[in-house]
Structure 1
Amino acid sequence: MKSSVTVSTGALHALVCGMSLLAFAPAFAATSTAAVPTGLSPLSQAISRLSADTRQQRVVELKDLGIDRPIILNASDARRELYLPVPADVPLTDATLQFDASYLNGEEGRNTLLLSLDGYPVRAMGLNAGEGDASVTLGVDKSARETGSVRLGIAWSSIISRIQCEDERAIGNVLRIAPDTRLSYSFDASQLHDLGAAWNALPGKPGILVAPGSLSSASYDAAWRLGVALERIGKQARIVPFPSVKDSIDLSGVSIPAELKQIPAFAALDGKGLHTLDDPAQIGALLMLGQTPAFNADLAVSDPALLKAVNESLDALQRQIQSLDAGANGAFNQWRERHVNGALNASGSDNVRLAMLGAHPLLMINQGAATKAIGLFSTAWNKLARTRQLTVGEEANMPLSDDGRVALTRLGGKPGSVDVLAKADWSASFPLGTVAYDGRVPVSAAVDVSAAPGASGTPPVASLFLNDYLIGAAQLTADGQKQRIEARIPRYALAAQNTVRVSFQRQPVSDLCRETPQAFPVSILPSSHVTLDKIGLDGDFSGMAARYAAGTQVVVPQGYLDRPASSLPHVIRIASASGVSPLRADLNVTTDAQSAISPDKAFLAFEVPVKGSDESLQVDAQGHLLIHHKEQTLLDLKSLNHLAALQVVESGSQHGMVYRILGGQGPNFERPVLLERGNVTVLGDNGPLTTFDAKDPTGSQMIDDDEPKGFDAWRKPSALWLIPAAVIGFIVLLLAGRRARRKRQ
């Protein structure tokens, strides 16, 4: 491909060590309670107050944790624990938990709600009206959490009033927990003593700060890799470009101290609504205040263009301060040393460091260190990040045994025991690319369980699901001994993102109301595993996820680098959904949008022509959406807005996927994209609108190869066909014998 600029991460399959996570800069020396020196001018005192204030405010909602629908509790004794992240080992201030919930009471009886924080009961309520509000505000103590989370315990009990010994549950008595339930708190950034604490402080939608204007290939490459890595741990990255002159900024939440308004840059920001920046000094003023979304970032891709923009804005602001009050220049230099210089003073090309940039702490990541920085997103690493300096290598490949087995504990599952009264679930989630890097894909699953005997003689049932497909089940011998559930994994059940779920169900027993139903333990054992093997990969989304595990060529046009704020969310969402590994991918930037690319390995192309590809979904010059199957047009629609198409194609001997925006604007993805089975999908703001297999619209390829096809069922009968065949043959012979006797008579 002649007209492209290639940025390669090199041999990413090997472990690479030697990336130092630098110690914190002096920016964290000041605390929010530091006294402001007296005897200074009003302007110097105002700047000193900004320098001393390192307080950070955070709001964590259930929606930020991926819970975007109400949680329903409707059993006679239902319990749920929710973990809300906070900075590890950092005291909290002004912390409150707003529990938003409502209830319905269809059956007369006693409903009780018990809330606890970190295992300590804090509020109990009787909710016995027909319906009502169960919301409550809880105070949260300021103690530092070593675990990096506030644990909210919810217990709901619903006992109906009439005597009913079979089952005291009522389907009309429910508690609804709203996704708006949230934890609000503040903390002192000077108390962030290590990178692990800063990592736990990341919100559910962390912002990635990038340079203003068009990005370099290296900077764009780092941003999409960090975004995909964040998606893999359940966080949705936001792209925050550093402001530049002529940008429009919303000043609705900006509050400017009166002493600072004598500076022209601050005075220009004293308003509400949209404001067009017309001076670099105004950007420096916004950076000092840190009250706008333009600087609400949690990570930053550090490249020369970003560092230059920061310095230019602060230099322009310093000139205005110098002209008004030469004495205030010292206070400004002190603020700059504490709040900026630590982020800009990089030593070496491969580093990740924690520093203040303006009013916010940031994880500063050099553009050449993104692949190594992905180690930050490992749960195992985060538990060890309790020092000021660490050396971290790149993520290792998933170790496989000689027979291709991978323990579910390596895929995110945590073995252990749970008490089951009626039903309980255990799950482990993993991207297909983490196990398929050598070409093998999961072909079978084995889950080892043990269950304690209960009061009922009915044995408990364990059901095994993969991506909500039931692939195996068994009644358990409840004697505390290991029992294995083995199941073959059908091809249609695999996806780019996979979830293995084991569901346990018991029969609760009450002896004529003299006994209260009790829960009994069941265990998932560490020997549970999936087995991988090399099979023929299909030309669909799951087949591409397996191919991407070995390496991917991500191709974007130059126009994507010119508008990173709008293009990077698309690249991040689609790359994550497709199973592209941020460690085993190369970014190719095409400078000629008209020249078709010729990939030399599995590829993911964004709005660039691909040589020799026969795309089933196309948009013609008149804006018509055409969906083809072989020589037949299945659908013809005029172009729609906020839509995009993602489809599997072939180019020569290589398989890949092509992403194209339909209409003038692409989708604004509100949540992670989950691809269903197929090879063509139309995407909207909320994800896939429709997904199908253009090469197999009847779905016949989902049927196993060993199943009879058409008349093969008659040519290759199974042994079961011998029974009706023998009966039919006997009847035919009997009728023939009767006709022969009648003729003789």
Structure 2
Amino acid sequence: MKNAFILTASISVLALSAHAQTATTTQSTTPAIAETSQDALLRSTTLRDLGYRDGVAFSQLSGQTEIYFPVPDAGPILNGQLTLDIEHGATNAVERFLQVKIGDRIATSVGLDVEGGQLSLPIDIRPSDVQNGFLTIGLSYSGAFSEYICVDERASGDFVQISPDSALSLTLDPAQISTPLDFNGFRPAQVYVQMPEGNEMSGLAAAVRAATLFGAEQGGVNFGTGALAAEGNAWTAGAIELDVTTSGSDSEMEVIQTGAQPTLHVRGTDPQLGLWQLSSAWAGVTDAANSVTSALVSSSVDADVVLLSALGADLREKQVVSSEQFIIPFQSSDIPAGKTVSEIDLVLAAGLDPAGAGASATVYLNDTLLGARSLGRGVPERVKFTVPAGLVSRNNVLRVSFQRQAAGGQCRIKPQGYSAQVLPGSQLQLADTADETEHFFQLRQSFADGAQIFVDPDVGLSASELMPWLGSVAGTIIPDRAPIIPRNALTDIDADVPFVVVSNANPGDGEPLITVEKGRIEIRDRNGEVMFDGDALDRLGIVQMVTRNGVTGLWVRPGAGDAPQASVNTPFVLDRGDLALIGAEGVVVATSTNSNSLIDVVYPEQTSLMQILDQYRPWIVGGLWLALTLLVLAAFQKMYRRRRATPSDE
């Protein structure tokens, strides 16, 4: 749960006909929200915030989708407006329409000009439109040629593109946002965490937990010790104030209205518990002015299978005219430590057309074809596909594509879709992995049950300076559900829980690839060219896996330069490899020190046999060739002399 927004969408596309024509631009208009109280909050949620990075697109004169904007309660809503920024065009003089539904009511239907162009479509929102914690937006695109024209349905060149900046804007009464549940449901995706002034480890643990829960690896969290300065009525960041106490409740949460915008105050001896509760299945019990949490129990994880229904993907039935896809993303942290995906076990169903023809299902994992099956019986069928070793990584996408020959057309019958679905019972089969924890994504699996955190005071960074480094790393390497276990000293780290240590010196037992104890460092590429050294290397942070007391963890050494500046478009991701150099641009280079390393680490101030061999390699190679040549010549000369010394038979 990287933010408060949960997205489900379903799209079905039907093919009709189109021919050619140029597009022009129409005048766009931008409506304004109705005037409200000076104290009201203006909260805007874009399609980009919901995960539609490229917006929503339709073509071939047909398409439908539903978009779900999370709105937990209609109580705080004074008014609202949905604004759709649309670009459209067609290559033929064809009538096209876009219909918008809010819940079950048809809000508007607009004809799209034959010439194409751009327009901004405003739609007023009523509080009664909120149902079951969501505002459901239904989009339906349709069109048709004149009845006197007959063309191939696949020849249409029309399109409708709805911008990812299209937004739902709500005007809220801040006084009605009075519970932690309301705050978490209405807050913006961006979060500001106000850390305690002191050096309490419980405060650091809560900040790290916020980084994992709210998407620090995607730039979703900022940290500081001062209060957030809110400007105007636009609510653009949700402020969470952490307060560590030495006694009393483990975690207590309440919403305070001290400024222009509400702030969630989380205090206690272990405030991270409250943050985790807001992102867990127990969030509903925080619907009170004051919420106290003492403990949370997570559900057990099956060590042999992962149900696709538990991964949060949209597995609802789809109408397949020619092709449709089911997309099921999952992360390595969804798989227990020491396990990997060995088999995809699917239960699939595809309806038959009147001629008795079914559909084919093609399965991909991370864009690698696993196989295909024909579904011609019209009943649920179980199909299994073996997963090749090494295919699973940190972020994975399972894609099930249904295809069938479109029935209809020929200028007589509209193409008809028939149902297909990935059914409950579909699962990822797991197997023990023979590999050690050799990559970052495998370490993320190990962190699922908890992460020990220690920050060496010798690092010399304040909390606001430290968290941009530690927050990005924690967000990408520690799963949401993992409790954060703070440690006051390096010697306090247990031998049975993986760790993250922020320090200048190596916390591991062995010698890492990069260590600062050997003086000046040069990072070279495979060709021996220097990539980083001196000040350029000092500005970069170093992240590498190390082992201490038999358990593998992560050593983070912050750089002297700017910390990673992650965003949704440029996330900070540690995936394959066990060593990474990081900077303001994110991961500069990541490599594995166990095999096929992309870099070579040289310590010019340290003289070793390998460095001597590397420095004088051309001379050594030349000398060896010369010696070998002389040996060969000597051998031939000896053979020649022996033959001359042998008396002739004649």
Q: Shorter-chain-normalised TM-score: which range? A: 0.7 to 0.9
Aligned to 2:213: 229
Does structure 1 residue 664 correspond to structure 2 residue 572?
Answer: no
Given residue 412 of structure 2, which amino acid in structure 1 is its aligned partner? R
Aligned to 1:189: 174
Q: Write the mapping of 1:19-418 to structure 2, written as runs, cut at 5 A.
A: 55-143=40-128, 145-157=130-142, 159=144, 163=149, 166-168=152-154, 170=156, 172-192=157-177, 194-212=179-197, 215-231=199-215, 236-243=220-227, 253=231, 297-303=238-244, 348-378=249-279, 380-382=281-283, 393-400=295-302, 404-413=304-313, 415-418=315-318
Change (3 A) 1:658 1:546: same
Question: 2:581 touches 2:589 (CA, 8 Å); kept in 1?
Answer: yes
Aligned to 1:423: 323
Aligned to 2:364: 465
**SS, match of residue 376 in structure 1:** helix
Q: Write the mapping of 1:690-705 to structure 2, written as runs, cut at 5 A.
A: 690-697=589-596
Change (3 A) 1:216 1:371: closer
CA apart distance, 1:385: 5.5
Given residue 433 of structure 2, which amino acid in structure 1 is its aligned partner? I
Change (3 A) 1:111 1:547: same
Distance in 1 between the 2:299 and 2:259 partners?
A: 38
How far does the alpha carbon of each residue in 1:569-600 deviate from its partner, in whole angstroms, 9 at most, with x for none?
Answer: 33233223224455344234569xxx999977
More helix by share: 1
Aligned-CA RMSD value:
4.0
Change (3 A) 1:112 1:234: farther
TM (norm. structure 2) is: 0.73
**SS, match of residue 134 in structure 1:** strand
CA apart distance, 1:415: 4.6
Structure 1: stretches of 5+ with no match in the other structure: 1-51, 244-248, 255-289, 306-345, 700-745
How far does the alpha carbon of each residue in 1:390-425 deviate from its partner, in whole angstroms, 9 at most, with x for none?
Answer: 776424143327xx2232222324554222333333
Distance in 2 between the 1:391 and 1:169 partners?
A: 61
Distance in 1 between the 2:234 and 2:443 partners?
A: 43
Distance in 2 between the 1:513 and 1:560 partners?
A: 74
Aligned to 2:391: 493
Distance in 2 between the 1:123 and 1:292 partners?
A: 28
CA apart distance, 1:166: 4.0
Aligned to 1:586: 485
CA apart distance, 1:387: 5.8
CA apart distance, 1:698: 8.7
Given residue 419 of structure 1, which amino acid in structure 2 is its aligned partner? Q
CA apart distance, 1:687: 4.5
CA apart distance, 1:668: 1.1
**SS, match of residue 376 in structure 2:** coil
Given residue 410 of structure 1, which amino acid in structure 2 is its aligned partner? A
Given residue 493 of structure 1, which amino acid in structure 2 is its aligned partner? L
Distance in 2 between the 1:146 and 1:444 partners?
A: 39
Aligned to 2:615: none
How far does the alpha carbon of each residue in 1:90-144 deviate from its partner, in whole angstroms, 9 at most, with x for none?
Answer: 2522311221221233344333222222243223233344441132222112336
Question: 2:215 touches 2:475 (CA, 8 Å); kept in 1?
Answer: yes
Does structure 1 residue 549 correspond to structure 2 residue 448?
Answer: yes
Change (3 A) 1:379 1:650: closer
Question: 1:351 touches 1:369 (CA, 8 Å); kept in 2?
Answer: no
Distance in 1 between the 2:206 and 2:365 partners?
A: 33
Which of residues 630, 633, 637 is equivalent to 2:532? 637
Change (3 A) 1:414 1:110: closer
Change (3 A) 1:511 1:59: closer
**SS, match of residue 665 in structure 1:** coil
Question: 1:91 touches 1:144 (CA, 8 Å); kept in 2?
Answer: no
TM (norm. structure 1) is: 0.65
**SS, match of residue 470 in structure 2:** helix
Question: 1:80 touches 1:153 (CA, 8 Å); kept in 2?
Answer: yes
CA apart distance, 1:228: 0.8
Distance in 2 between the 1:478 and 1:102 partners?
A: 42
Distance in 2 between the 1:385 and 1:146 partners?
A: 20
Given residue 555 of structure 2, which amino acid in structure 1 is its aligned partner? V
Distance in 1 between the 2:89 and 2:519 partners?
A: 54
CA apart distance, 1:292: 10
CA apart distance, 1:205: 1.1
Does structure 1 residue 679 correspond to structure 2 residue 544?
Answer: no
